[in-house]
A and B are shown apart, each in its own frame.
Chain A
Amino acid sequence: MTTTPTEADEPTGAGTADVPAPAGPRGPGRTVRVVTYVLGRLTTAVVSLFAVIVAGFFLFRILPGDPVRAMTEGREVSAEQREELRRQFGLDQPLWQQFLDYAGGLLRLDLGISFQYREPVVDLILERLGPTLLLAGTGTVIAALLGLFLGARAGWKPGGRGDRTNTAVALFFWSVPTFWLGLLLIVLLASGRGFMPGLFPTGGMVDPRVSGTLPTVLSTAQHMVLPVITMVAVIYAQYLMIMRSSLMDEKGADYLTTARAKGLRDALVRRRHAVPNALLPTVTLIFLNLGQVVSGVILVETVFSWPGLGQLFYSGLRVPDLGLVQGLFVVFAASVILMNLLADLVYPLLDPRVRP
């Protein structure tokens, strides 16, 4: 994870692996190929994003249920009051007009208005972005470190006891429902029963009564423990599995034989030679994994009442708040598309074998 780029060069540098040399490392031919590659990837991303925007708009429009009816359900409102709401939300306009307004707004980075909060969706998202990045970021980093570490061990001696235990545990957590695991942790560690009662808060991000920087940081850290553990438990398995199989692929490589022939200890061969190369495919995974993180974070934030995008999405779904849900859908999808694009663009820099 530290100096991957240098180490990535190792197979070429060692000269043992038969890497097809990129034809003409410099020169006009290569520039054209790179430009074509980048443009191709960019086009794919833009087309995907456009498809997401169109699909997102119409998908939420064909869902059953009238948002104004849903918002006013069980309340004493007159037909005039409902009409006023409908007018405010632009729902009285024909569908194509609504779409044009929506698409026009997107060009100005305006995701529309949340029906339930009466505020621009963009503002709501920006407000909640921080907590989500904090939770998802911490969870991803810890899960990646843990998964890669355990995966490297497991893949070096596949079928061994360590491998079997590690893989089984990881797959167990991978298949456990996030919601259930979160509630279980609350019951055991937060609620005042279980074997370690009342250690952590059951929800929220910070105790509303604290003030000052240090108490806020401490309170936030305390509130983060359970959600982070839940996220890590659920997502680390995929890092483990990909690292494991990636390492198993490398295991038979000639350069490792060479390394062993130099008399290096087995652990050194693994750490210094095999792991760095096996890390490459996982780089892509870390980007692509964002989709999983998004779905994971929605559930975790809901269980632990974490005031981030996931909880916002959940609150939008309950109403249903069309403007908000649709805006978040676009943001979530766009972030996955962006990550894919970055993976495509960055990977060739890391791995000369796939350079265009």
Chain B
Amino acid sequence: MKTQHPPSGTLLRRAAASGSALLLLGGLTAVPAAADEAGGNTLTVAIAQQVDSFNPFTAQLAVTTNILRHVYDSLTTVDPETGEPEASLAETWEASEDGLTWTFNIRDDAYFTDGEQLTADDVAWTFNTIMENDAAAIASGNYVAGFESVTAEDPTTLVIELDEPQATMESLRVPIVPQHVWEPIIEEEGDAFSDYTADDFPTVGSGPFVLTEHSRGEHIRLEANPDHWRGAPGFDELYFRYYSEKDAAVEALRSGEVSFVYELTDAQITSLETLDDVAVNIADGKRFQAFTINPGAQTQDGEEFGDGHPALSDLTLRQAIVMGIDNDEIVQQGANGQAVAAGGYIPPRYTDFHWAPEGDEAVLDFDPDAANEMLDDAGYELGDDGVRVSPDGDRLELRMHVHADRPDNVQAGQVIAERLADIGIEIDNRTVDPGILSDALYDAEYDLIFTGWTVNPDPDYVFSIHTCGALPTEPGTMQGDAYFCDEEYDELYAAQLAEYDREARADIIHQLQEVLYREAVVNVLTYPNIMEAYRTDHIAGIQLEPAEGGNIWGQDGYWAWWSAEPAEGAARGGGIGGVIGGGSGVSSGVLIGVGAGVLVLLAAGAFFFFRRRSTVEDRE
């Protein structure tokens, strides 16, 4: 035996142990779900993305920020009914006349889970740490960029002084941490703070859940905080379990192993729709799917770089390209109808900020005839091969970079290539890995390129990436996803940021979108729907955000998991343990059969093994 597996001891012991573990399977029928020990109500969510860190100052990845939102409160949240800022740790707030001084009144009934009261000092300390310490600014540095100072005047009063007015002050999604826990950690870790992953459990926060366990690559456990000032959550425990394969996660929902799955495809939704105990939720999208056109890349100093097609600096050509594409066709062909055709930059779920070109504004609606005419008039002559040539003599063959890993993008890319051929533009359709696409974008070595963003309730950021200030300082360092720079746009952008009246601000934001639309560098195609599903025999009711047509996973507040109510009888059968003992209704006969099958397989191996040994003994 020693000849087979060199590090013999461990490997063989493990193999032997696991072999005997498999043997025990036969006895599994007698073990009706080990989950009997787990009392209370459990909600299980299937996740795929790994956790980078539970350090709220550095955690970057969506899954982590999502979970931390349940562990730490922030100053304000979002009202699921209206979509407007809503009180959280701050009960009320107001800005000074000049808009530079913000006073937040911190509630006096918020406690950390170790019993200490949360005061304005904790809030001030959190913000100051982010402002002073580079390592602590990794996650939320963008929120405090315009802060002059943050001070706690008394335990319930927080004052933030700004350099310039900033309309995003009601949407500071910064996790507020307990100073008494984190101050010693920051001192102790020093320069290594950015590597501190905060895996001491339970985590001390003030949110509706407490983080109690993380088994990497397996699961994360949260327990309800019964003393949360908003009231205790409906479920006692939340499990986030890893499923690296989405199809496997969908099967886990089907079997009842998990209660909720998200980011589904149209095909997965279709397969789940007909099930009795499963509800699908098709929500209005938060994302827009777009392509940008390279108008000639340059740095902030005006240094040109990249190799975009020279004719694309012509507004007429860019507009003709947009007019040549039918967004409705892309919704049907690319997304099987699971999207909304777009015009403006902000998805319709943000009702007051959304803008769509209508009437006289809708100059770039799908109209291939008009597009052809425009190009004819502008001197783009049609060559013998059906491809136009620019007035400067450049053939209109354009590269288009498409995300290979997103099937809907690939489909949309094919539609676009066909439609643009109709107006005499040849597309070199490059379906590539994300890395290649991103290199092409940052090196400006593209003509058309696919992009897309998730839009937050406050849209400031997705507008900021198209200001002249977002152009790269040197090639490769661009902030956004287009080399867009327009004086009018920059003025409007500054105006909306300084406008504290929500209605007036929305008005400016509409104008911003009109500029983007007209300039045809950033071209929005669709708003893909959000598709998710949950088991109605686990979850009785759940708050969507927004309440009408909203989603469950990835909310900006913690409404979904805080509000989720356990269904009758979900306590035992509902969890993961329900697979064998629970509600799937497997007869014990089948179980015994399979147990026997596994035994037979092992017996075959054992037979071979022992037969050989016995013959050896015979010989002796």
- B462 to A: closest C-beta gap in Å: 8
Contact of A222 among B218, B580, B605, B612 (CB under 8 A): B580
CA distance in complex: A218, B36 (Å): 14
Within 8 Å of chain B (Cβ to Cβ): is A353?
no
- B58 to A: closest C-beta gap in Å: 7
Q: Which residue from chain B places its CB closest to the CB of A301 in the assembled complex?
A: B244
- A159 to B: closest C-beta gap in Å: 22
Contact of B4 among A189, A193, A286, A305 (CB under 8 A): A286
Contact of B438 among A65, A80, A215, A315 (CB under 8 A): A65
Residues of A within 8 A of B598 (CB): 225
Within 8 Å of chain B (Cβ to Cβ): is A220?
yes
Within 8 Å of chain B (Cβ to Cβ): is A91?
no
Interface flags for B426-463 (1: CB within 8 Å of A; 0: not) read 00000001111011001000000000111010000100
CB–CB B433/A85 < 8 A: no
Residues of A within 8 A of B611 (CB): 271
Q: Which residue from chain B places its CB closest to the CB of A320 in the assembled complex?
A: B435
CA distance in complex: A199, B616 (Å): 40
Known: A118-B194, A192-B255. A218 touches B31 (CB 8 A): yes
Contact of A65 among B19, B439, B453 (CB under 8 A): B439
Within 8 A of A (CB), among B232-278: 239, 241-245, 247-249, 251-252, 254-257
Contact of B217 among A70, A224, A271, A315 (CB under 8 A): A315
CB–CB A210/B37 < 8 A: yes
CB–CB A303/B245 < 8 A: yes
Interface segment, B10-18, B179-187, B358-366, B374-382? B10-18
Within 8 Å of chain A (Cβ to Cβ): is B575?
yes
CB–CB B22/A64 < 8 A: no
- A183 to B: closest C-beta gap in Å: 6
* B-side interface residues, number (CB < 8 Å): 104
Interface centre among B248, B591, B616 (most CB of A within 10 A): B248
Within 8 Å of chain A (Cβ to Cβ): is B354?
no
CB–CB A149/B579 < 8 A: no
Within 8 Å of chain B (Cβ to Cβ): is A155?
no
CA distance in complex: A327, B275 (Å): 44
Within 8 A of B (CB), among A83-136: 84-85, 88, 113, 116-119, 124, 127-128, 130, 133-134
Q: Which residue from chain B places its CB closest to the CB of A120 in the assembled complex?
A: B195
CB–CB B479/A73 < 8 A: no
CB–CB B24/A225 < 8 A: no
CA distance in complex: A69, B15 (Å): 42
Residues of A within 8 A of B96 (CB): none
Contact of A208 among B60, B219, B461 (CB under 8 A): B219
Interface flags for A172-205 (1: CB within 8 Å of B; 0: not) read 0000000000010011011111001111111111
Within 8 A of B (CB), among A148-171: 148-149
Interface segment, B78-86, B132-140, B320-328, B500-508? B132-140
CB–CB A215/B34 < 8 A: yes
Residues of B within 8 A of A137 (CB): 5, 11-12, 14-15, 18
Q: Which residue from chain B places its CB closest to the CB of A81 in the assembled complex?
A: B141
Within 8 Å of chain B (Cβ to Cβ): is A307?
yes
Residues of A within 8 A of B25 (CB): 221-222, 225
Interface flags for A205-223 (1: CB within 8 Å of B; 0: not) read 1111111100101111110
Contact of B31 among A88, A190, A215 (CB under 8 A): A215
- A162 to B: closest C-beta gap in Å: 14
Residues of B within 8 A of A78 (CB): 141-142, 145, 479
Residues of B within 8 A of A71 (CB): 60-61
CB–CB B218/A204 < 8 A: yes
Residues of A within 8 A of B241 (CB): 203-204, 208, 305
- A198 to B: closest C-beta gap in Å: 3
* A-side interface residues, number (CB < 8 Å): 105
CA distance in complex: A193, B252 (Å): 11
Interface flags for B520-543 (1: CB within 8 Å of A; 0: not) read 000000000000000000000000
Residues of A within 8 A of B586 (CB): 196-199
Known: A88-B194, A272-B615. A207 touches B6 (CB 8 A): no
Contact of A209 among B31, B252, B577 (CB under 8 A): B577
CA distance in complex: A41, B274 (Å): 62
CB–CB A118/B53 < 8 A: yes
CB–CB A315/B245 < 8 A: no
CB–CB B248/A186 < 8 A: yes
CA distance in complex: A119, B217 (Å): 14
Interface residues of A, Cβ cutoff 8 Å to B:
1-5, 7, 63-66, 69-81, 84-85, 88, 113, 116-119, 124, 127-128, 130, 133-134, 137-138, 140-142, 145-146, 148-149, 183, 186-187, 189-193, 196-212, 215, 217-222, 224-225, 228, 268, 271-272, 275, 283, 286-287, 301-305, 307, 311-312, 314-315, 320, 338-339, 342, 346, 349-350
Give me the 3 closest cross-chain CB pairs, A-B, nearest first: A65-B435, A198-B584, A307-B217
Q: A79-B473, A192-B254 are in contact. List 17 more A-B contacts (CB 8 A).
A: A2-B612, A66-B438, A66-B442, A76-B461, A133-B10, A134-B18, A146-B604, A149-B608, A190-B579, A196-B593, A197-B586, A203-B245, A207-B35, A207-B577, A210-B577, A219-B34, A307-B215
Interface residues of B, Cβ cutoff 8 Å to A:
1, 3-6, 10-12, 14-15, 18-19, 21-22, 24-25, 27-28, 31, 34-35, 37-38, 42, 50-53, 58, 60-62, 134-135, 137-138, 141-142, 145, 194-195, 197, 213, 215-219, 221, 239, 241-245, 247-249, 251-252, 254-257, 433-436, 438-439, 442, 452-454, 456, 461, 473, 477, 479, 575-577, 579-580, 584-586, 590-591, 593-594, 598, 601-602, 604-605, 608-609, 611-613, 615-616, 619
What are 15 residue pairs bridging A and B, where the CB atoms are less than 8 Å apart in the complex? A73-B438, A138-B15, A142-B19, A198-B585, A204-B241, A208-B213, A210-B577, A212-B37, A215-B37, A220-B21, A225-B22, A271-B615, A303-B245, A311-B244, A315-B50
